[in-house]
Amino acid sequence: MKKDYKILALKILAPFVAIILAAFISSLIILAIDKDPLQVFYTMFKFSFKRIDSIAMILFNATPLIFSALAVSIGFKMGLFNIGIEGQYLIGTFMAALVGFSIKGLPAVIHLPLVILAGIVGGMIWSFIPIFLKVKRGVHEVISTIMLNYVAYSLIHFLIADVFRDRQQSLVEGLGSVLVRTPKLAASAVIPKMHGFLAFFGVQLPKHVYLNWFFPISVVLAAGIYYLIMRTPFGYELRAVGHNPEASCIAGINQGRIYFKGFLLSGAVAGLVGLSDLLGYFRYMDMDFPRGYGFDGIAVALIAQNNPFGIIASAILFGFLKRGSEGIQALLKVPMDTIVILQSLMIIFIVVITKIINDYVKRLEKREVA
C-alpha cells in the first residue's frame, strides 16, 4: 500500500529529480571551466523567461522535437525502436522543399498543404523500407533504420549539391560565395508565423522570432496520438502487440499489419520534424539543414516515457536548454563548444537518471506483482 504511493510519486517526480541531479552534475563541469554555476543557471533562466520573445523561441525550438519524439514513441508503443527518424525527416524535408520550390503559382491554401503532405509522404517512404524488411524478411529494425540514416544523409547531399542545386543565386552584397542549397521555396509554401494571432491577444512578438503554426499543430497532433493509442481499436492493438505479440496474435490481431501501419504512421510524423525549420525559417534546404532532431527525439521520448503530453513538456525543456545556453554564450562569454558539451551532458544525465529511476520503479512494481 505504502509502496504504491511511493511508486506513483517516483513516477511523477522522476523527470524533476533527474533535472535537478543533472544540474548538480553539470555544476561540477561549470566549476571546472572556472565559472560560477549559480550564475550560469541564473543567466539561463533570466535569459529564457524574462522576455516573451524568448519564450516563443523556446517553443520554436521545441516544435521539431515534439514531432520527433511522437514518432519515436509510436514505435516504442508497439515494441519497435525506430532510430530512423533522422533519415525519415531529412527525406521528408527534402520532398517538401522539392514540392515547395518546383511548383509555382498555386494559392497558399493549396500549396502549403501539398508541401506538408510531401513531407509526410517522404517520411513514410523512408519508414516503409525498414518495416517491409522486418515484416517480410525479419531484418531487425534497429539495424535497417540506422543504415538508412546514412543512406539518407548521402542521398540528401547528392540531391542538394548535384541535382537540385540553385545555380542562379544572386550574390548577397558583402558575401563572397554562394550557398549549396535548393532554390528558394515559393511564398505560397511558407507557414505563417503566429505573430498576428498572438497580437490579437495583446502579445507582441518581434520579427526575429520564428514561432509558427507548426507548434500548435504539434500539440494537437500529440493529443491526437494520445487518443489514437489509448482509445481507438488500432491503438489498443498497437499496445497489445507491443506488450505481448503472441497473445495478440492468438486473439486474431495481425501483427505484421500493425507493424506496417504503426511504422508508417511513425514515419509520417517524422516527415513533419523538419518542416517548422524549412517552411518557417530557412525557406530552402541547404547542406547545413539542422540535423540530430531524430536522436534528440529519442531522448525526449525516453524522458516522457512515451506519454504524448509528457513529450510536449520534455521537448520544451530541451528547447529551454538550447535557448538558455545561447544566453550564457552571449552574456557570460562561455565558449560555444563548452556550451554544446554542457547541453549534451545535461541531456545525457537527464536521460540516464530518468531511466535509472524508471527501472527502479519498474522493479518495485515487479516485486509487488512477481
Partner 1 sequence: MGKAVELKNITKRFPGIVANDRINLEIQKGEIHAIVGENGAGKSTLMKVLAGLYQPDEGEIFIFGKKEKISSPNKAIELKIGMVHQHFMLVDRFTVLENIILGAEKKKGFTIDEKTCRETLKKLLELYNFKLDLDARLEDISVGHAQRVEIMKVLYRGADILVLDEPTAVLAPQEVDELFINLRRLKEEGKTIIFISHKLDEVLSIADNITVLRRGKAVGTVPADSVTKEELARMMVGKPVLMKLNKTPAEKGEVKLSLRDVMMKGHGGRNVLNGVTLKVCGGEIYGIVGVEGNGQKELAEAIIGLQQDYDGDIKVCGKPTKGLSIKQIRDMGVAFIPEDRHRQGLVLPMKVWENSILGLHRKEEFKKKTSIDIKKAEEFTSRNVKGFSIIISSIHQAIEGLSGGNQQKVILSRELSQEPIVILAAQPTRGLDIGAMEFVHQQLLEKRREGKAVVLISADLEEVLSISDRVGVIFDGEIVAEFTPEETTLEDIGVYMLGAHKKAGESA
Ligand X SMILES: Nc1ncnc2c1ncn2[C@@H]1O[C@H](COP(=O)(O)OP(=O)(O)OP(=O)(O)O)[C@@H](O)[C@H]1O
Q: How far apart are CA 358 and CA 366, in angstroms?
A: 12
102 binds, among partner 1, ligand X, none (CB under 5 to 8 A by kind): none
Size of the site for ligand X (CB under 6 A): 2
Q: Residue 32 or 369: which CB sits closer to ligand X? A: 369
Q: What are the grid coordinates assigned to 280, written together? A: 518557417
By CB under 6 A, the residues from 329 to 368 that bind ligand X are 368
Q: Residue 297 or 308: which CB sits closer to partner 1? A: 308
User: How many whole angstroms from its chain centre is CA 37?
Assistant: 28
127 binds, among ligand X, partner 1, none (CB under 5 to 8 A by kind): none
CB 245 within 8 A of CB 108: no
* Of the candidates 163, 188, 33, the residue with the CA atom closest to the CA atom of residue 107: 188
By CB under 8 A, the residues from 36 to 55 that bind partner 1 are none
| 80 lies in the site for partner 1, by CB under 8 A | no
Instruction: Give me the least distance between CB of 369 and ligand X, in Å please.
Output: 4
Contacts of 193 (CB under 8 A, 6+ apart): 205, 209, 210, 211, 212, 213, 280
**Of 139, 253, 331, 345, the one binding partner 1 by CB under 8 A:** 253
By CB under 8 A, the residues from 256 to 275 that bind partner 1 are none
By CB under 8 A, the residues from 210 to 249 that bind partner 1 are 227, 231-233, 236-237, 239-240, 243-244, 246-249
Contacts of 70 (CB under 8 A, 6+ apart): 218, 221, 222, 225, 269, 297, 301, 308, 311
Binding mask 8-27 for partner 1 (x = CB under 8 A): --------------------
Measured at CB, which residue is nearest to ligand X? 369
207 binds, among partner 1, ligand X, none (CB under 5 to 8 A by kind): none
| 370 lies in the site for partner 1, by CB under 8 A | yes
Instruction: Give me the least distance between CB of 236 and partner 1, in Å please.
Output: 5
Q: Residue 315 or 361: which CB sits closer to ligand X? A: 361
Q: How far apart are CA 370 and CA 366, in angstroms?
A: 5
Instruction: Give me the least distance between CB of 242 and partner 1, in Å please.
Output: 9
| 34 lies in the site for partner 1, by CB under 8 A | no
Residue type, 34: D
| 4 lies in the site for ligand X, by CB under 6 A | no
Size of the site for partner 1 (CB under 8 A): 26
Q: What are the grid coordinates assigned to 80, written together? A: 519497435
24 binds, among partner 1, ligand X, none (CB under 5 to 8 A by kind): none
| 32 lies in the site for ligand X, by CB under 6 A | no
Q: How far apart are CA 349 and CA 8, in angstroms?
A: 22
| 369 lies in the site for ligand X, by CB under 6 A | yes
| 251 lies in the site for partner 1, by CB under 8 A | yes
| 288 lies in the site for ligand X, by CB under 6 A | no
| 31 lies in the site for partner 1, by CB under 8 A | no
Return residues touching partner 1 (CB under 8 A): 1-2, 4, 227, 231-233, 236-237, 239-240, 243-244, 246-254, 367-370
Residues engaged in binding ligand X (CB under 6 A): 368-369
